[in-house]
Structure 1
C-alpha cells in the first residue's frame, strides 16, 4: 500500500509574511508553492530548495547560502518583461528560498505534452520572447545553464485567448538557481549541472559554460518545438550527453517534411558543436530569429499548409501556419526591442473651425498659376523617382547571385569569394567518399541564389573518405571484441572457429582484415575464434626412419605428407616435421615430413692403364678409399666399381696392377 506523507509547509507562514497555500510543482532541485504575501495582499510563488540539494555539511552551508543570496540579488536587478521577477529571498529552517512573480499559465513542457509540436510561427514567437529574456541575462553577465521547456512559462494572454500561442506571454524562470547549486556541487567534484537532453557539448567535455552554452540549449528547445521530440535519446543519461559531443543535430525538416529551409539553417547555426561557430549570445540568436520570422511572414502573405507526420494509413490533417509578423502582434506581447509604435497625438483643431476653408484656398492659389502647377508636377515626379529607385534598391539593386563554389578546393573557394566581395563561414565538415579532403561539399546559399552584396556564404568542407583502422582484438573475448569493433563503426561477422594451442576457447585468434588495416565505416570484419587446444598431440618424428614415422602417425589417425631432399644423413631418415612435436591437431590432420635421400653419389673415374701409384693418388683425391691388388708399381689392368659408376661417398675402389 502506498503511503503519502503530508507536506508540512502547507499552511505555514514563512518569514512572518508569506502564507503557503498550495504546492505547484516539485523539480530536481526545489519545490514551488503558491503563497499569499500577507503584507501586500498578492499571490506569489515561493521556491524552496530541497533538503537533499542543500549543503550536506554545516561547513559548506554558509557558502551555499551566500552564493544563493548573491544570485537572487542579481536576478532581482534583472528587470525584463520576459523574466520571472524575483521579489524576495531568505532562508526557512536552514533552506534557502526565493519569492517570485506568480505566472498564471503552463510550462512549455505542458504545452508540448498536449500539442506534441507547435506551428513554426508559434515556435518562433515563443523562441523570440525566450531569447529576449536570456539576452537580458547575458547582458547582465549571467548564464542560465539549464534552458529547457520546464523553465519556460507560457502565460495566458491579457485578452484571455489561448488558441494561438503567438499571442501568449513567455517568461523564463530559474536564472541563477542552477549556478548557485552547481557552485556547491563543484566542491564535491561534480561539474555537469544541466539537463542532458539540452546540454551543450562543451559542458560535457570541459564543464565550461558561457552565453553560447545557452544558445545551444535554446536551439535544442526550438528543435523540440518544431519536431515534437529532442534530437537524441538513450538508455543512460551519459549516453545522451555524449551524443551532443559526437553528432550534429539533424535538420528539423528530416523529421517534419515541409518545414522551411530557413528553420533548418536557424537550428543548425544555434546547435553547432563548435561554440565559436554559434551566435555569440542570446541577443545575436534573437536577431536571427526575428529575421527568419520576417522572411517567413513576407513569403507567406496569408497562410502556409504543412502536413503533419503520421501514420500513412490515416487521413493526414494539415496545420495552418499563420503568417504573423512581429509588427502585427498585440502591443502587450511585443518585446522592448521591438519598439512598438507609439500612439499618435491628435493636434487640436484651429479655433474657428475654418481649417478646411484655408486648405481649399491654398489649393486654389497654387493650382491657379502655371508656376504653382509646374512645382506640383515636379514634386510628384521627384517623389515617383525616389520611390522607384528606393523600391529597385531594396527589391533588386542590393542583391547579387551567389557564385558556384561547390567542388572547388578551400583555397580556390576563398579566392573566388574574395573576388566577389563575399565573406565565408564554415559549417562542420563531413566525410565523403567521392569529394577530396578540403574541397567544398556544399554551400548556403546555393549557387545562383540571391544574396546581399558582400554577404556571407557558409561552406561545408569535405574530410575526404572516412577510413578507420581495424582495432587489434586478438586475444580478447568475443563479447569485448564485438563491442570494440562495433564502437569503431564496423560490422562483426563470425568466421569458422579453429583450434589453437595458446588461446582458450571463445577467444579471438585472428581477424580478416587484420588489425591496423584501413577500412570504411560499415565494412565487415570476420572474427575467428579459438576452439582451444586440439585433442591430438603430434609426436616427435625427427631422426626416425620413415617407415617408423608412418606407423606412429597412422596409429594416431594423422596423415603424413612426405618430401625428400639430399642430406648427409642416412637415407629415409626424417629430417624435419610440421607441425612441431607437441602441437595439438585434429584427427586426420596432415603432418609434413622432410626425409633424407642420403648423401649425394659420386662418379668413379677411369684409372685403367694408369701406373698404379698415379691411379691410387687420383682416387684418393676424390674421396675414394683404394684397395691395391698385385704389383703396386705396375700398370692398372682393371678396377671395381668400373669407371663412371655412381656410388655413395666413401665407397672403396679396388684396382688390379700387373
Structure 2
C-alpha cells in the first residue's frame, strides 16, 4: 500500500510574497521548491532548511539565524554567470530560507544517473564552467565546502535539449550554505563533516579545516565521476569512505575506463592529491589547467583526423594505423555560443603548422653570428666564451640565491610582548610594523601582542612588514538593567548582551506585579564576561495577608491579632517614656503584604525610667511637697500642721517608683 504524506508548505504564501507551487528536490540540509514571486511575477526557487538543521536551544538558534543571514548576504554579492543568483532570504515558521534564481534544467547528478558517464569533451566543458563559478567565489574569499553533482545545475541550451552538453550552461548553487549549517551544529557532540563523504578532502576529515584547495579536491572527484561513472571510494559506513580519502590516492580514471587520454589522468591526479600543497592553489588555477587540457585534446583529435584522411582505401600499407580506443571530439572555444562563453576564456591558440627554414641572418644579426663563429674557431676564443658563460652562470646563481633565499630571514617572536616593546624590537631588527584592528582575549593582557603575521620564525623579506594584532584584554559587558521588566523582555535583553539567564526563587512584592523581575545577581551594571549566568528573581505579586496596625496597642493585644492572621510576632523591648508594653513600631509596616507564617517584628516600650524617692524627713511640709512634685511625684498623706516638719514618708527614702507615683507624708 503506497502512503504519501502531504507537504504542508505546498500552496502556502511565504513572507506575503512567494507562493509555493511544487517541490523540486529534497537533500540532506534543505528542500527546494518552485514558487511564484507574486510581487515581480516571476518563477523562483526557494530552498528551506530542514527543521533538524535549525533545531537548537534559543541561544544557538539565534546564532544560527545570524550566521545564515551573513552567509546569504555574502552569496548575494557573488555575481557571476555560472553562479545561481540569490534574490532574498528570511525565515518561515522559524526555518531559514533562500530565494534563488530558478534554472530550467537538471542537476549533474540526474544526468549522470541517466547516462552513466560523460565523454571527455562534455566532462571538460562542464568542469570549465563549474570551476569558473567556484573561482569567482574564491576571489571573493568564499569557500563552497560542498562541491558535488547535486549542487551543479546544467541548464538547457537555447537550441533545446541536452544531447550535447558542450553548449549547455552550468550553474553552481549552495555557496556558503554548508558553512552556515555546520557552524550551527558545532555543539552537537559529533564531528561535523558537512561535505558529502564521497567528495570530502582529507584535511576536512583529519583537521576539520577548509580552504580553496578543499574545493579543488572535491571538483577533481566530480571530474573523476563524470569520466568513469562512479566515485573512487565506497563503503558500508560514511566514516569508512571518508578515511579512504585520507589513506589512499585517487586512482587514475583510465584504470576504470581504458583508452582515456593520459592528460585527463594527470589532471584528476593533480587535483586530488592528498597533500593540499600539491594541488592547484584554487579553482582559478585548476580552471586554467582544464582549458589547456581541452586545447590539447582538440589538437590531438585534429591530428588523428588528418592521419586517417591520408590513408585511402585503395592503399594497402604494410602496417595498419592504430585506431584510438576513445574518439575525442575537437572542441574549440569559438564553437561555444556567445551566451555560454566564459568571461575569462582565452581565445584558441592557432593550430600548429610546419615552420619554414629560416633565411640566413643579415644586418646586425649576421654580424653577431659571424663574431660567434670566429670566437669559437680557435681554442683561446672558446676559453673566453666558456669563462664568460661561467661568469654569467655565477651571476645568475647569485641573483637566484638572493631572490630565492638570501633576501629572507626569520620573523622574530613578538606575541605576548607589550605593543611598544614589540614595536621597538621590530625596529631594531629592521622591520616595519603595521597594526590591525585589536581583538579581545581572555589570555593575553590588554595592549599586548595577540597575533602576528607572518608568524614567529616564518620566512620574511629583510626589512619587510610585520602585521600585529593587539589585545583589548578580556571582553566584559555590564549587566543590563532588567529590573521592573517582564521575564520575557529581561531574557531577550540578557541574550542580546551575550549572557545566559537563570531563574532564581520567586518572591512576593507589594510594588511589582506577578511575572516582573525584582532583582538580578550579579547586580545591574556589574562587569561580566560573555556567556556568564545571571540569576533573576521574579515577583509573585502582592502577598495574600495584609499586616494590621499594631502601633499604640498593648503587646498582648498585638500578639492575639497576629496569631489570628497566621503570623508570628517577634518582640524587641525598648526604653521609652510610653507606658510599659505599648507597641512603639512594627516591621513590616501596616498595610504591607506578607504570606502565611511570616514574622512581624514589634518594638515594645519598657515604660518610663523609675524615680528614686528622696528623703524629706524633718523638712518643713511645704518644702517637702515642692521637692517631691519637682521629681514628677504626687504628694498625699496626713498633714495635721501644714507648716510643720515631716514626721514620716511612704515610700521610704531611695525607693525607686514610676514617675507620677504618690508619696504619702505626715506633718505635725
Q: Shorter-normalised TM-score: what interval?
A: 0.5 to 0.7
Tell me the residue number matched to 1:477. 486
Q: Does 1:218 align with 2:140?
A: yes
Q: Tell me what 2:330 maps to.
A: none
Equivalent in the alignment of 1:457: 466
Inter-CA distance 554–509: structure 2 relative to 1 (3 Å threshold): same
**Alignment match, 2:593:** 584
- Give the equivalent residue in structure 1 for 2:10: none
Residue pair 1:253, 1:259 contacting (<8 A) in 2 also: no
**Matches of 2:614 and 2:607 in 1, distance apart?**
21
Q: How does 1:565-576 map to 2 (within 5 A)?
A: 565-576=574-585
- 1:87-102 matches, within 5 Å, as none
Residues 148 and 595 (structure 1), Cα distance of their counterparts in 2 relative to 1, 3 Å cut: closer
Give yes or no for the alignment of 1:232 onto 2:176. no
Q: CA offset at residue 461 of structure 1?
A: 2.9
The answer as to 2:108 corresponding to 1:160 is: no
2:506 is aligned with 1:501: no
Task: Call closer, same or farther: CA 1:385–1:630 in 2, change over 3 Å.
Answer: farther
Question: What do the CA deviations read for 1:63-92 (whole angstroms, capped 9, x no partner)?
Answer: xxxxxxxxxxxxxxxxxxxxxxxxxxxxxx
Per the alignment, do residues 328 and 377 of structure 1 end up closer, same or farther by CA in structure 2, a change over 3 Å counting?
A: farther
**What is the CA-CA distance between 1:317 and the residue it aligns to?**
2.9
Residue of 514, 528, 545 corresponding to 1:519: 528
Mapped to 2, the partners of 1:165 and 1:633 lie a distance apart of 139
User: Are 2:604 and 1:643 equivalent residues in the alignment?
Assistant: no
The correspondence for 2:279, drawn from 300, 305, 323, is: 323
- Residue 361 to residue 491, structure 1, CA distance change in 2 (3 Å): closer
Question: Residues 311-337 of structure 1: CA distance to partner in whole angstroms, max 9, x if unpaired?
Answer: 546652317246347475645699969
Cα distance in 2, alignment partners of residues 217 and 336 from structure 1: 14
1: CA distance, partners of 2:386 / 2:502:
87
Tell whether 2:372 aligns with 1:390: no
Q: Aligned-pair distance for 1:489?
A: 2.2
CA drift of 1:170 comes to 5.8
The alpha-carbon distance between structure 1 residues 571 and 348, as it changes in their structure 2 partners (threshold 3 A), is same
1:598 positional shift:
1.0
1:561 lines up with 2:570 in the alignment: yes
Question: Is the Cα contact below 8 Å between 1:423 and 1:454 reproduced in 2?
Answer: no
Per-residue CA deviation, residues 328-358 of structure 1 (Å, 9 max, x unaligned), is 5645699969999999995733469xxxxx9
Matched, 1:400 2:327: no
State the Cα distance separating 1:261 from its structure 2 match. Answer: 8.5
Q: 1:483 to 1:380 in 2, by over 3 A?
A: same
Deviation at 1:557, TM superposition (A): 1.7
DSSP 3-state at the match of 1:160: helix
How far apart are the structure 2 equivalents of 1:145 and 1:323?
34
- Which position in structure 1 is the counterpart of 2:28? none
Residues 436, 469 of structure 2: 8 Å contact kept: yes
User: Does residue 663 of structure 2 align to residue 653 of structure 1?
Assistant: yes
By how many angstroms is 1:422 displaced? 2.1
Aligned residue for 1:403, secondary structure, equals coil
Report the counterpart of residue 102 of structure 1 in structure 2.
none
SS at match of 2:460: strand
More displaced 10-residue stretch of structure 1: 389-398 or 608-617: 608-617
Aligned to 1:59: none
For 2:426 and 2:514, locate their aligned partners in 1 and report how far apart those are by CA, in whole Å.
62
Match among 477, 490, 497 for residue 499 of structure 2: 490
Q: What is the Cα-based RMSD across aligned positions, in Å?
A: 5.6
Contact in 2 for aligned 1:608/1:638 (Cα 8 Å)? yes
Q: Kindly indicate whether the alpha-carbon contact (under 8 Å) linking 2:142 and 2:176 is maintained by their aligned counterparts in 1.
A: no
| Partner Cα separation in structure 2 for residue 314 and residue 261 of structure 1 | 18
Of 164-173 and 460-469, deviating more is 164-173
Tell me the CA shift for residue 518 of structure 1.
2.3
Q: Is the 8 A contact 1:602 1:646 kept in 2?
A: yes
Residue 555 of structure 1, CA deviation:
1.6
TM-score (norm: length of structure 2): 0.52
The answer to whether the 8 Å contact 1:220/1:231 transfers is no
State the secondary structure of the residue aligned to 1:653: strand
Report the counterpart of residue 437 of structure 1 in structure 2: 446
Instruction: Find out whether 1:446 has 2:452 as its counterpart.
Output: no
Distance in 1, matches of 2:454 and 2:99, equals: 31
Residue segments in structure 1 that go unaligned for 5+ positions in a row: 3-26, 29-49, 56-94, 96-106, 110-129, 137-143, 174-213, 235-251, 268-288, 290-304, 353-357
Contact 2:411/2:456 (CA < 8 Å) preserved in 1? yes
Output the CA distance in 2 between the equivalents of 1:543 and 1:260: 79
Alignment of 1:7-22 (within 5 A): none
Q: Is the 8 A contact 2:87 2:101 kept in 1?
A: no
- Once the two structures are TM-superposed, the CA of residue 399 in structure 1 deviates from its matched residue by 1.7
- Alignment partner of 1:548 is 2:546: no
Give, in angstroms, the shift of residue 595 of structure 1: 0.9
